[in-house]
Amino acid sequence: MGSAGRDVVPWPSYVPFTGVKPDLPGDDRGVQPAYLSYPQSLAQSVASKPGDGSTVQALIITYSPPPRPAEENQLWTAINEALGIDLKLTHVPSADYPKKMATQMASGDMPDLMVINGDPPNIDQYIVAKCADLSEFLSGDAIKKYPNLANIPPYAWQGAGRVGGKLMTVPIERPRFNYSLHVNRTLLDAVSAPTNWTQAEFEQAMAAVTKGRRWGMGSDNSELGLTWHAMSFGVPNEWEVKGGKFIGSWESERWLPALEFVRKLREKGLYHPDAQTMSAVDMKAQLYNQTVASMPDGLLAYVTTVGKINGAWKPDLARLYQTDTPGGVHFAGGIFGRVIIKKAAKERVELILRVLDYLAAPFGTKEYEVSHFGVEGKHYTRAGDGSPKLTALADVENPNTLGIRYVMDAPNALYIPGDADAARRMHAYQSETIDTAVPNPATGLRSDGASSLQNSLRLKLRDEMTAILAGREPVSAWSAAVKDWKAQGGDKMAEEYAKEYEAAQHH
């Protein structure tokens, strides 16, 4: 349910947390604050226990096997104690989540809070019927009652969007920087590849690294990371707005040189021979062991890589290469998902907002340490520099297995234990690319067409990309696939977004 033709409430005021000073500053556009070492003294961001001893039920998505039950789980127990509630979590594996959401919505019932990941069909109608309107609690300066929610950057609120002109959801922030080319800077330095490169220099570097059982490029999917290359060719981020009209990025003629170039790189043997078929997990292993010198992936995979390779080589994030059209890194929506709260008495809604406020406590606070590391002496000990050193118990009990990060989370800070230089490189990448970064103008806007059609239509285009890059279809086949996309729903989405965009511009 869009905001077109409705009164629209103001976004929440943004009040950045100042309790702990980062070593390298972030900004409200999306550069993450970086901490080169663990803060020596932690701030307290919540004055008193948020809960009243009651039970709070939450339905959340999970990417891990189910955790031990609360009574056998010391992390869960510690978080319940800190929150002052009995938090009952229903964990649903990510593969089953869309189905579970559909069942939940059809039942007409709702737990106290629920996480929406993606845009399930008819979700806005469900939100309006079943969920608390949070506008009076969060719009404008009202949010200052919840300082950790007020520290969530504006791009995350805008990424979550309004429903029917109102604030009905709370965003779980994730970095706006997302799809990136992860590179082995050690191998690139060995062939004198420049950090800022032209298209020709990029190709030369990949060719220079490729020899024997080593290749310049790996891929996380059958499209050979085409989406990353497209950024260098100036392809818009999903949509562009021209004269108030929305035009799908697929319609851009800039896809053609991108398709041609990536296909050429594959034909020249610069990609790992199994790049189009190998699973992303197996390809990551090829990156770690230096069989491939680069691989596209989400931004946060960088931190995992640093941990896995143990200093064997220098990971970095590639800058886009220069083509004859200026390009820019594509921003993601800046959120993992949106939290919705069941309609209830004012006091009950405020209680749940206090719980979310606690769980949104930023890096460098006592509250963050509880929800992200657990209990000292059980889940971690202190290293010499004061940083938490995880124990074996933390392998089983952590924010990912418990899923507490998918109830609410702090805005992501950049902290890489034991590797300050890796954090510096990531911060430099963000700082150097933010000025030309390209947001998606449809972020946070509602389109019924998009929620029902987007994925199936995109799948068809991705199949076409795969066929062209594999050499099964000519590059010229692309324009017919785009025509189909327009006719089968692309034009409908464009119209819906244009109406929503117009309504949002007035506020």
Q: What is the pLDDT of residues 405-460, one digit of tens each?
A: 999 999 999 999 889 999 999 999 999 999 999 999 999 887 777 767 777 888 99
Contact partners, residue 400, CB within 8 Å, separation at least 6: 63, 64
Q: What is the mean pLDDT of the chain?
A: 95
Residue 470 main-chain phi, psi, to 5 deg: -80, -10
Q: Which amino acid does the sequence have at 273?
A: P
Alpha-carbon separation of residue 488 from 119, 246, 372, 412, 452 (angstroms):
19, 16, 44, 38, 12
- Return d(Cα 136, Cα 232) in angstroms, integer: 43
The reported pLDDT for the residue numbered 7 is 81
The reported pLDDT for the residue numbered 69 is 96
Q: How confident is the model at residue 504 (pLDDT cuts 50, 70, 90)?
A: confident
- Return d(Cα 207, Cα 202) in angstroms, integer: 9
Structure tokens at 406: 């998918």
- Alpha-carbon Rg for the chain in angstroms: 23
The reported pLDDT for the residue numbered 454 is 77
* Fold of the 180-330+438-505 domain: D-Maltodextrin-Binding Protein; domain 2 (3.40.190)
What's the average model confidence in pLDDT over 139-156?
98
Is the dihedral angle over the CA atoms 239, 245, 250, 252 positive or is it negative?
A: negative
Domain ranges of the chain: 41-174+335-413, 180-330+438-505
Tell me the three-class secondary structure of 163-184, residue by residue: ECCECCCEEEECCCECCEEEEE
The reported pLDDT for the residue numbered 334 is 96
Q: What percent of the chain has pLDDT over 90?
A: 91
Q: How confident is the model at residue 5 (pLDDT cuts 50, 70, 90)?
A: low
- Tell me, rounded to whole angstroms, the distance of Cα 163 from its chain centroid: 21
- Return d(Cα 133, Cα 138) in angstroms, integer: 10
pLDDT for residue 507 is more than 60: no
Nearest to 225 by CA among 166, 187, 178, 163: 178
Q: Which CATH number fits domain 41-174+335-413: 1.20.58.110, 3.40.190.10, 4.10.95.10, 1.10.630.10?
A: 3.40.190.10
Q: Which amino acid does the sequence have at 309?
A: I
Tens digits of residue pLDDT in 115-143: 999 888 889 999 999 999 999 999 999 99
> Residue 223: how many CA atoms within 13 Å on its side-chain side?
19
Tens digits of residue pLDDT in 177-204: 999 999 999 999 999 999 999 999 999 9
- Return d(Cα 413, Cα 235) in angstroms, integer: 29
Contact 193, 308 (CB under 8 A): no
Contact 251, 482 (CB under 8 A): yes
Strands (E) located in 214-311? 239-242, 245-248, 294-297
Structure tokens at 15: 């009040």
Contact 238, 439 (CB under 8 A): no
The reported pLDDT for the residue numbered 418 is 86
pLDDT for residue 395 is more than 60: yes
The reported pLDDT for the residue numbered 451 is 66
Tens digits of residue pLDDT in 221-275: 999 999 999 999 999 999 999 999 999 999 999 999 999 999 999 999 999 999 9
- Decide the pairing of beta strands 86-93 and 55-62: parallel
The reported pLDDT for the residue numbered 1 is 59
Tens digits of residue pLDDT in 33-70: 999 999 999 999 999 999 999 999 999 999 999 999 99
Residue 84 main-chain phi, psi, to 5 deg: 70, 30
pLDDT for residue 344 is more than 90: yes
- Return d(Cα 202, Cα 193) in angstroms, integer: 8
Q: How confident is the model at residue 506 (pLDDT cuts 50, 70, 90)?
A: low
Secondary structure class of 316 (helix, strand, coil): strand
CATH topology match: 41-174+335-413 vs 180-330+438-505: yes
The reported pLDDT for the residue numbered 445 is 87
**Token match 């992501």: residue?**
412
- Decide the pairing of beta strands 380-382 and 388-390: antiparallel
pTM: 0.92
The reported pLDDT for the residue numbered 220 is 93
